[in-house]
Chains A and B, each alone.
Chain A
Amino acid sequence: MAVAMLIATLTAATLRVATPILLAAIGETFNERAGVLNLGIEGIMFLGAFVGFYVADITGSLWMGLLMAIISGVLLGILMAYFTVSLGVNQHVSGLGITLLASGLALYAFRLNYGGRSTPPSIPPFEQITPLAKIPVFNTILNQYLLTYVTFFIIVPVSWWVMYRTSLGMKIRAVGENPEAADAAGINVFWIRYGVLTFGGGLMAMGGAFLSLAQLGAFTHGIIAGRGWVAIALVIFGNWNPFKVMLGSLIFGGTYALQLRLQAMGLQLPIPYETFLALPYIVTIIALVIAGRQASYPAALLKPYQRE
């Protein structure tokens, strides 16, 4: 029984840890499917986390915080689209610029409003919901925030459905593979890219807000700490397919939760814990090499589209 409980708690932790990254990764999946790499992901998550926290703190409403966080992500997505799609600026540079801007804004506002404290400010977070409270094991696993359920059971399947079963998804994929052909077929490449960046930005910010409003109920400098880059790795790992990306996020969440638990238990392993953490990245690089050979990379990724 103890083993079952251990697995159950680990699974629960996995789902929790995976949620914010999965949200961001789904957003980035749409972006990359349309041919845009959004390196602003780290900053958008960070600002989303802060805006969510701050608004929730001053209004007293967690939902208001979440809403404003999503809006901040949407606005940043539009900004990114303006630079990369309308102006045709190099995607990496504008993405990093946006990460810097968003992080700077968040930290500035954070220091302004909460500066000088020794402990991070906190608010009562979202409650966890346990739909199957009476059933053992399941009541441990399914003890999650609403947002987690929404992410895994609604956002991921709907994203998959949109991507592969709707004409919108087909347009997005066409734009990411061969924008000239898409353009010739009457698809508006610019609107599609604006759309995915905006939608993606909203999801990324939502991911950040999950951390501050649900998982931690607090905001700190290191609240994101590289999760944005993990999301980018997951998108590739998952071959730009929402379900596979979800799988990747579970693997990541799982290894993270596992190594945390092992550390808490005081277990000494012959290899450092960081190996677990680095594993997703290494596997992703291997996936990239294979993907390069098989050409399942969205062919137009990173190339700005200029119609002469």
Chain B
Amino acid sequence: MPLLKFRLEKTGAPLWFRGLIPVITLVLTFILTSGLIIWGKANPFEAYYYFLIDPLSGRVSFLEVLVKSTPLILTGIAVTVAFVSGYFNIGAEGQLYAGALASAYLGTVLGGISTPLAILLMLISSFAAGLLWALLPALLRVYLNVDEVVTTLLFNSIIIFMISAILNGPWRDPQSGWPQSPEIAEVTRLPQLVARSRLHFGFVLALTVVAVVWFIQTKTSFGLKFRAVGLGKEGARFAGINVERTILIAALISGGIAGIAGYVEVAGIQYHLIGELSPGYGYTGIIIATMGGLNALGVGAAALFFGLVETGAQTVSRALGVPVYLGEVTQATMLLVILGMFLLQRYRIRRM
């Protein structure tokens, strides 16, 4: 009996299909994760209620969503800026720590200045620190054609060792003996935005970065040049764009923004530097950037969604006893489903 053969035709998928993609993604993710939820002896529908809906319905949890999104927005945008120009910055994690290091240091030496000034100084220094940490891999790529994926990855590990050495050495907290830096001064902490919540000014900074990057991406010639270089190096070069310089700048800005992510975590949440400051925000940023389609607003939305998932995972865990790691599994599943869909939307399945 002849098998039904299908072939994938490379034309745009019908528009109605493309519009449904977010819905299909969610549904598929739900189906795939419900197996795990059932194993956890819970009802998938109930779980997803606590997962995605409940956190938005309460003041405390809603604000917590925003808190959790803050660093993700920043790393997501950082990665986006680089990826758009074709520079695969896998080092956002390390650049984040560089910014955190700078902030933790400044936080202990800046005293007797106003908070706005402190914010400005620490913002600039964390950006600079992240930029500097991104510099060597960027130079290696642009001038020696050394692939940036592995170099930025290795730099992540190196700075984590550096921080471990610092925290176990000169910066070990003299009072507690734990490997954590001394607390930063009051004035250098990011102000609370809403009373009785952890939401801090860093969230505003994150949104500002989104707005600025969105503006640059969509409304300025810089944004157009960055995109041109990422989408067609030869065409960009022919049109007179300095491709090497553009990639270098994109890489450095990317590092700087990731550095800001480190700043907001130190100055807004932890108030000192610890080795576990980031549970992989830099890597998650890559996933968020992909899901947001490398577009500032989309990435912001994806980051907020991931923040929701992280908060929701805790809610589900408390309510139904399902392990909190459901969050990570859902994020990963959603990414893989979307990756599959990205390509599917470029093809059409035709019966042969």
Contact = CB atoms under 8 A, between A and B. Distances in A.
Interface string B23-59: 0000000000000100110000000000000000000
B343 A88 contact: yes
Contact of A83 (B144, B150, B340): B340
B326 A288 contact: no
Interface stretch (B226-234, B262-270, B328-336): B328-336
Interface string A91-114: 011101111110111011111100
Nearest to A37: B149
Contacts, number: 139
Nearest to A297: B147
Contacts of A281: 154, 157-158, 161
Interface residues of B, number: 48
B315 interface: no
Nearest to A43: B332
Interface in B160-191: 160-162, 164-165, 168-169
A274 B324 contact: no
Given A107-B328, A277-B161, A289-B140, A96 B287 contact: yes
Contacts of B21: none
B154 A229 contact: yes
Interface of B is mostly: helix
A293 B328 contact: no
B137 to A, nearest CB: 8
Contact of B339 (A87, A226, A273, A282): A87
A247 interface: no
Given A37-B149, A275-B165, A289-B140, A108 B329 contact: yes
Interface of A is mostly: helix
B111 interface: no
A236 interface: yes
A275 B140 CA distance: 23
Contact of B151 (A39, A273, A288): A288
B157 A92 contact: no
A274 B339 contact: no
Given A97-B332, A274-B165, A92 B146 contact: no
Interface string B316-344: 00000001111111111101100110110
A112 B332 CA distance: 19
A288 B150 contact: yes
Contact of B287 (A37, A100, A229, A302): A100
Contacts of B155: 285
Interface in B36-84: 36, 39-40
Given A92-B286, A96-B287, A278-B158, A104 B331 contact: yes
B328 A92 contact: no
12 contacts: A37-B150, A93-B286, A103-B328, A108-B329, A229-B154, A229-B157, A233-B154, A236-B150, A274-B161, A278-B162, A284-B150, A292-B140
Interface of B: 36, 39-40, 88, 90, 140, 144-147, 149-151, 153-158, 160-162, 164-165, 168-169, 283-284, 286-287, 290, 323-333, 335-336, 339-340, 342-343
Given A37-B150, A87-B340, A92-B149, 19 more contacts: A83-B339, A87-B339, A92-B88, A93-B335, A96-B287, A98-B336, A101-B328, A104-B331, A107-B328, A108-B40, A112-B323, A229-B153, A232-B150, A233-B157, A285-B151, A288-B146, A301-B147, A302-B147, A302-B149
